[in-house]
Amino acid sequence: MKYLLQVDFPHAGPFKEEFSEAFTDLAKDIANEEGLIWKIWTENEETKEAGGIYLFDNLKDADRYLQKHTKRLASFGYTDIRAKIFNVNEPLSLIDNASL
């Protein structure tokens, strides 16, 4: 079974290219997380939000990473961090072209 972690939080900026430049080192660090299959970085300049969608190959690593990342975001000064972990329904997701 695979697990999807959804995280978002209020983010005043930067966005777009500046966001990419500011967080490249963090992205490289996240890429080495145990159990991580992929991450999609999310941002919405209009609503002033950022976050990510993560796919993990097990619940233990998804939960461990959620705890670690929440602490890291708080250390960056972020508040109102919202997060959820979902089971992935693989048969239905594959019908709809999910890359699992």
How do residues 11-43 score in pLDDT, each as one tens digit? 999 999 999 999 999 999 999 999 999 999 999
Q: Residue 98: inside a domain, yes or no? A: no
DSSP-assigned letter for residue 46: T
**For residue 100, what pLDDT is reported?**
85
Distance in angstroms (rounded) separating the CA atoms of residues 70 and 20: 20
Inter-residue contact 51 to 8 (CB < 8 Å): yes
CATH number at residue 19: 3.30.70.100
Between 100 and 10, the more confident residue is 10
Q: Residue 96: inside a domain, yes or no? A: no
Q: Residue 99: inside a domain, yes or no? A: no
Question: What's the total number of domains in the chain?
Answer: 1
Q: Residue 64: inside a domain, yes or no? A: yes
